[in-house]
Homo-oligomer: A and B are copies of this chain.
Amino acid sequence: MAVRALVFDVFGTLVDWRSGVAEAFRASGVEGTAGDLADDWRGRYRPILAEVNEGERSWANFDELHHVTLDDLLAERRRDLPVEERRRLVEAWHRLDPWPDVPAGLEALRRRRVVATLSNGHVALLVDLARYGDLRFDCILSAELARVYKPARAAYLMAARLLGVEAGELMLVAAHGWDLDGAREAGLRTAFVDRPLEYGPGSGGRAHPDADVSVSELVELAERLPG
């Protein structure tokens, strides 16, 4: 079956969340190493999404969840921070730089296939990121539209349904094994893109041998698209 459309994970795969969030921590004056604070915050992401998916927490979007996890992080570290500063930190997730290969890579792929996001971030957040990074997508898709977070099967199948393609005609592009595994289990094709700098310099490259394609830059993927 030919790949008719590509959907992209966003945080870590297309944009460098760590640099932007660390910079926001630096500006906030919160005591601690900015990179560590960013990693700590990001580390609370999958557990809280699991709470939502398992029905232990009612549906909430990324801004709402970022507020909760930031409050937890600051409380555990016994750091105080005014509400306005907390809001600024949450908003830092709306303005993150794309990895350098992304603008040209997306354009090359968009000439060949339908290109959309498929992020756990909500639609308004993705719109802000795309505008900030001047990234052009054919469509913004978000787990928000399925009201269940990746890696739940329904999030991937929603994307195929809305794009009018079979699951097997849709390819998820992501830097994270858990996301690629979720997509594969839902019947999608998968492309792993290595982002060795996601957790900062020296955090190292990754691999995902189960992916249909593995690349280190998006332009490579444009040349190696199956079908």
Chain A residues within 8 Å of B, Cβ to Cβ: 114, 116, 122-127, 130-131, 136, 138-140, 144-145, 162-165
Q: Which of B126, B136, B144, B163 contacts A136 (CB 8 A)?
A: B136
Check if A144 sits within 8 Å of B162, measured CB to CB: yes
Which chain B residue shows the least CB distance to A163?
Answer: B124
Q: Which residues on the B side are within 8 Å of A122 (C-beta)? A: 162, 164
- What is the count of identical protomers in the complex? 2
Provide the bound-state CA to CA distance between A145 and B162, in Å. Answer: 9
List 11 A–B pairs whose Cβ atoms lie within 8 Å, in order of A's numbering.
A116-B127, A123-B164, A124-B162, A124-B163, A124-B165, A127-B138, A127-B139, A138-B140, A139-B139, A140-B140, A144-B162
Q: Which of B124, B125, B163 contacts A123 (CB 8 A)?
A: B163
**Minimum-distance CB pairs A-B, first 3:** A124-B164, A123-B162, A139-B140
Q: Which residues on the B side are within 8 Å of A130 (C-beta)? A: 138
Contacts A144-B162, A162-B144 hold; do A114 and B127 have CB atoms under 8 A apart? yes
Q: Which of B123, B138, B140, B162 contacts A131 (CB 8 A)?
A: B138
Q: Which residues on the B side are within 8 Å of A131 (C-beta)? A: 114, 138
Q: Which residues on the B side are within 8 Å of A139 (C-beta)? A: 123, 126-127, 139-140
Provide the bound-state CA to CA distance between A163 and B128, in Å. Answer: 10
Q: Which residues on the B side are within 8 Å of A164 (C-beta)? A: 122-125
Q: Which of B125, B126, B145, B165 contacts A145 (CB 8 A)?
A: B145
